[in-house]
Amino acid sequence: MLTHKQIWSAIDALAARYGLSPSGLAKLAGLDPTTFNKSKRGVAIGKLRWPSTESISKVLAATGASLDEFVALVDGVGARSRMVPLIGMAQAGSRGYFDDSGFPAGNGWEEIAFPELADEHAYALEITGDSMQPVYRDGDRIVVSPSTNPRRGDRVVVKTQDGEVMAKLLHRMTAQRIELRSLNPAHEDRSFALNEIAFVHRIIWASQ
């Protein structure tokens, strides 16, 4: 059964995830700053007030959070989190940040809190530059799963043997080649022989 407390706790957790107070979250979504205040969640005679579906929709649009992400918070999954390693996109091309299996390794990683993930090797990258606009913008953070098998149509992070790191759309991958579509129409699509690729990791979440 869905409870009043679950919904409001999920809104509070969503605000905290993006470094906001409930009031700040409301303002970001273009709502009255008092929309999510504690005083708005009930009245003196004890009647409970629920947030509207419109306000939740605006919050998800403003933060870039998915409905699945919000539902996970309602279910309480968001309360269980662990620290995920984080580096900048440009750093990811340098030696020492990944081991031979493509898992995060070595020093120099920061850490951010993220809801519990099935992939213990998951890591986060901070986007720099405009080459991935309009999907990802400078400063956005993406969470990547090395252990999830990417499929056609997935957004992926690809690192070449030469150290180039890019976020692309996986168009096709055969036993010999990989074809990638650019997220930014101003940038060309790419194609590589598989022996030119260090790893292909699926993007599973983005903060925008």
CATH number of the domain that 56 lies in? 1.10.260
Distance CA 70, CA 208 (A): 15
**Would the pLDDT of 77 be above 60?**
no
74: its two tokens: 């309602």
pLDDT tens track for 112-170? 767 666 788 999 999 988 888 888 888 888 989 999 889 999 999 999 999 999 999 99
Give yes or no: residues 47 and 92 share one domain: no
In this structure, of 16-25, 94-103, 155-164, 182-191, the range with the lowest mean pLDDT score is: 16-25
Give yes or no: residues 16 and 46 share one domain: yes
CB 136 within 8 A of CB 186: no
Give yes or no: residues 197 and 146 share one domain: yes
Distance CA 21, CA 96 (A): 37
Q: What is the pLDDT of residue 198?
A: 96
Q: Where are the beta strands (DSSP E) in the chain?
A: 81-88, 110-115, 123-126, 141-145, 155-160, 165-173, 177-181, 190-193, 197-207
Share of the chain above pLDDT 90, in %: 45
**Would the pLDDT of 59 be above 90?**
yes
CATH number of the domain that 170 lies in? 2.10.109.10
Give yes or no: residues 111 and 69 share one domain: no
Give yes or no: residues 68 and 125 share one domain: no
Q: Which residue has the higher pLDDT, 106 or 82?
A: 106
Number of structural domains, the chain? Answer: 2
Cβ neighbours for 3, distance < 8 A, ≥ 6 positions apart: none
Give yes or no: residues 14 and 59 share one domain: yes
Q: Which residue has the higher pLDDT, 205 or 124?
A: 124
Residue 15 burial (10 A CB sphere; 0-12, 13-18, 19+): buried
User: Is residue 139 classed as helix, strand or coil in its secondary structure?
Assistant: coil
User: Average pLDDT for residues 49-67, to the nearest whole number?
Assistant: 90
171: its two tokens: 């168009």
Distance CA 39, CA 37 (A): 5
Q: What is the pLDDT of residue 79?
A: 52
* Domain span at 10: 4-79
The answer to whether the predicted template modeling score (pTM) of the entire model surpasses 0.85 is no
